[in-house]
Structures are given as C-alpha cells and as structure tokens.
A and B are shown apart, each in its own frame.
Chain A
Amino acid sequence: MIIEAGIHQIWPGFDLQIASELHFTSGLTHLQGPNGVGKSSFLTQLLLPRLVKNPAYYCLYFEQQMQLQITAVKAYAALMKPRVQVEGEADAVDFLLQDLLRSYEAEPRPSLVLMDESLHAERIKAFLDENIPDYSLVFSSHGELFPSARSIVFKPLSSSRSLVDAPAN
C-alpha cells in the first residue's frame, strides 16, 4: 500500500501535504503529531478508502470512539456467531481479531491493521504477533507505544494544511 507524495485534499478547506511517498507494506508505523493535525483523517480519508474492498489485503480498523463500530460488530456477531457475546469495546476488539484469524486461516493474505488512539493497542499487537505472520500495523497515539515502529510525523503548516513527513529512523 502506497500513498503518493503531493497534496491530498481531505475535507473542503483542509489538505495534507505528503512530503515523500509513504509505504505501508510491513512492520509498525506510528502516526505522530498534536491533536487536530489530521492523523485520524489520514487514516479514514486516505488509507481506508484504498483498502476497502481491496482483494490484496485484509483490512482491520479500530476507530477512536468505537460506539457505532461496536453496534455494527455486535449486530454482525448476533447473526453470524450468536454464541459469541459482544458487550463492549474489548469484546468487539476480540471478535474482530478472531474473525481476522479465521479469515486468514481460510484464505491467507497480508493484513493491514489500522488503530486510531486505541485503548487496546498492546493486546492487538500481541495477538497479531502470535497469530498473523504477515501484517502491517499503522497506529496513531500520543505516547511512544512500540519503540520499533517507524514514525510518520504530522506538523501543522496552517489552519488548512498539515505536512506529513516520514523521517529516516
């Protein structure tokens, strides 16, 4: 998965300037930067649209406020796996990870996992390390979660533009 260098419009009146081509093929990638600089928008408006219905990858996304995602997963589980109880965020995360594992076992593909300020980051990574050999994890967080992750840094240039740069680690 590649995001080309250049200016990408995210919303009317806000864009991201990507300094150089970004690759998300393997390993861990940490999106860093202050609040409101466009990290979540980068995930939802740039990365996810390229991943949805892309047969080359399994894509898994953990949104920041999981409220509607929990409802969507809960309803899906109620119909597909009625014996699996999905009550809250932790259950929804578990369901999605187990579903990824089942899908991977049935039809192996590289997996791209996106996390937006997830409270379950360590658990998700531990599960992936243990079960999914071929994955790439892209996450945003304020602290340094995983030291081995390469960084993509977001800097505000103006109220309508942020710079996205991947310095050599």
Chain B
Amino acid sequence: MPPQIKLILSLLLLLSILAVTLVLFLDSLPIQLAFFGALTLALLFLKGFKRWLQGFRLMLPFLISLSLVYLMFGVLKIKTQEADPGSISYWLQFGLGRILLFANSVLTFQLFFSLISFDELLSLPLKIGLMKYVILGKILFSNAFNSYQDIGFHQSLIPSQQQSKQRFSQRFKARLAAVLALLFTLSRESRIKGAQIDNRIAACHGGKSGGTGQWYLNLGYVVLVTVATMIIPIPIPGGGFFNFGDVMIVFIGLHAGRRAGALAGGIGSAIADLLLFPLFAPITLLVKGLEGWLSGLGHKSSGLGRFLFPLSGCALMVGGYFLGEWALPQLGKAVAVADLGVNIVQGLVGFVGGRALFEAAKYLDI
C-alpha cells in the first residue's frame, strides 16, 4: 500500500477511535471495556506478546496509582460532578471508566505508531523544506537515545559515582550532568548534520547554502525536550509523570530565547506525551510552550530576570496544568487536584535544574 494512503487510513482510524472513546462514549463503561479489549488484541497481533507487555508495563504503575487516587477520593468522600458526597463505590466505578479511557488513549496511539513507521514518513512525497525536519529528527532521536546510554555508562565509571553513600543532591547533580552531556552532544550533532543537509539541499535543489542554522538548532532543542521527558518517565498519582523535561525547557529558554523555548517546550513535550500518555498532549502543547516562552524572557535579561522569568514560567506550568486538567472532561478535577502537588515539585525541580544547567553550560561550548 502506498505510504500516503496508509498514513491517511491510519490517521482516520486513530481519529475515529479517539472520537468514540474520548468524546462520544466518554462515560460508557461497556464501550471503554470493549475498546480496551479490541485494542489489546490488535496490539498483541501487530506487535507480539513481548513488545505488547513492554508497552503495558510502562502504563501499569500509572494505572495502579490512578486507582489508588480514586480509592482515596472515595474514602475522603470528595464531591462528585453533581456536587453529591461521593462514596467509595461511586469513585471506584467512575475511576475504572477513567482508567480505561486513559489506557485506551495510550493503546490507540501505540496502535497508530505500530501501523506507521518513521521510514514510511520518509517515503512520503513531502516538500524538501519539510522533509529535512523529518530526516534530521530521525537522526537526532536515534542519536540521543544511544548517546544517553553511553554517557550514563561513562559517568557511572567515574569513581566518585561508585562511592556507596551518595547524597540526594549528588545523585540529582549526576543526573543533570548526564543531561548536560546529552545537550552538548546533540547540539553538536544538530549543527553538523543540519549544515550538511542544508549544503546538500543547496547542491541538489538550488538556493543558498549556509543559512542561519536556526531551524536545525530549534529542531535539536525539540528533540532534547522530548528525550529528556521520555528518558525518566516516573508515573505519579493522578496523572502525568515526573521527568527532566522542565529542566530542559527552562535551560533552552534561558540559553536560546523565547522562540526556541516556546517551540521546544510546546512541541517537544507534546511529542513525548503523544508517545507515552497522549491525553495530556493538548494541555502540554500550550502550557509547556508558554513555560518555554516565559523562561526565554530571561535570555537577554541580567541578574534578577534570569531568576524571575523561569520561576514564573514554572509557576505558569503548575497553574496551567491544574486549570487545563480541571477543564477537560476526560481528566477532570480528580486528576487536577491529585496532580497539583506533583506538578509543584516538577516545576521546582525544573527551575532549580534548568538554572543549574544554564550556569554549568557556561563551562561548555554549547
């Protein structure tokens, strides 16, 4: 089947399932159960048991923690949507529907990505101006995952990392050091490969070579945010997951400015959400984009601005998720309330870590 037809059909399938499970039959437990079964069977058939199990394992801690939150809501008699005091059975039934809905959104995207491969995207008849993003994106993604593993290996062989007693701050800094090394590696790779692609395009399609290079630097930042978000996906109660994405967003805003911060924060984080927990992707696109933009206001500031703008970016992220999750019927106030504390921690870690990376990066030629 030609790749463009396959892509259109896969997109239609994706949108149809999302429309049925997330909009039309949002509160129907039988429909959610039926789709959960059908999607699981389809993925078992397409990916095989081993790979299906890998995907399910990633989701499982999240689903368990979400169940616990709904149980807690029942125990605390948190008010229902109709403002009645909710019982344990109400919240468990409501929670089961939401858990299935959440699982269905993840499985639907897993199905889509198992139908369409990156190589098929490369064979689409895209204009060269768009295709260059796909080509470089693929190179940077695979490079990022491989490099991060190797960097982690080398840093684990630094003797002070082998000492038996490590303080939390030391472990956190060590993790930041791995992210910083990845940042350095990927920035260099995006510059080298991006310039090569530009030169090739100039030679084969005419036009000038040696542009500003901003497109490939921005793409490198997007990939960095996606990878930093996906590398340490720790599921947390209620929704979302703790990660190093915000650290990277704050850093990119401070280092490269508003535009780069907004693009990398919004698109990079949304891609990670689509690949892991897609229900959050629309909120993420907006909220993290704004977080990057606000952090970027500190780029040309000096002194206090470099603290206040990233801090307000992180605060906006916390508030944005709270309001966004509350407003979305697929998530609701339960998830918003449960997520608040974790997002505050995530925001603080993002601010502290992003600032630390920004200071440390001065010693590297990034």
Contact = CB atoms under 8 A, between A and B. Distances in A.
Contacts, number: 96
Interface in A61-84: 61, 63, 68-69, 71-80, 82
Given A72-B151, A72-B154, A73-B154, A79 B177 contact: yes
Interface string B352-366: 000010011101100
Contacts of A52: 153, 156-157
A53 B164 CA distance: 10
B360 A103 contact: no
A59 interface: yes
B231 interface: no
A74 B184 contact: yes
A71 B185 contact: yes
Interface string A23-47: 0000000000000000000000000
A52 B158 CA distance: 10
Contacts of B92: none
Contacts of B207: none
Contact of B156 (A53, A82, A85, A107): A53
A103 B170 CA distance: 14
A13 interface: no
B182 to A, nearest CB: 8
Interface residues of B, number: 31
A102 B162 CA distance: 12
A68 B151 contact: yes
A82 B363 contact: yes
B255 to A, nearest CB: 14
Contacts of A107: 163-164
B158 A76 contact: yes
A82 B173 CA distance: 12
B162 A75 contact: no
Given A71-B151, A80-B173, A58 B162 contact: yes
Contacts of A102: 159-160
Contacts of B120: none
Contacts of B184: 71, 74-75
B181 A72 contact: yes
A68 B159 contact: no
Contacts of B150: 68, 72
By secondary structure, the A interface counts as helix
A131 B363 CA distance: 29
A55 B164 contact: yes
Interface string A92-127: 000010011011101100010000000000000000
A29 B193 CA distance: 41
A71 B162 CA distance: 19
Q: Which of B162, B173, B180, B363 has the most CB of A within 10 A?
A: B162
A112 to B, nearest CB: 11
A11 to B, nearest CB: 16
A74 B158 contact: no
A60 interface: yes
Contacts of A103: 159-160, 162-163
A70 to B, nearest CB: 9
Contacts of B151: 68, 71-72, 75
B250 interface: no
9 contacts: A55-B162, A68-B185, A71-B151, A72-B155, A75-B364, A77-B363, A85-B363, A99-B158, A106-B163
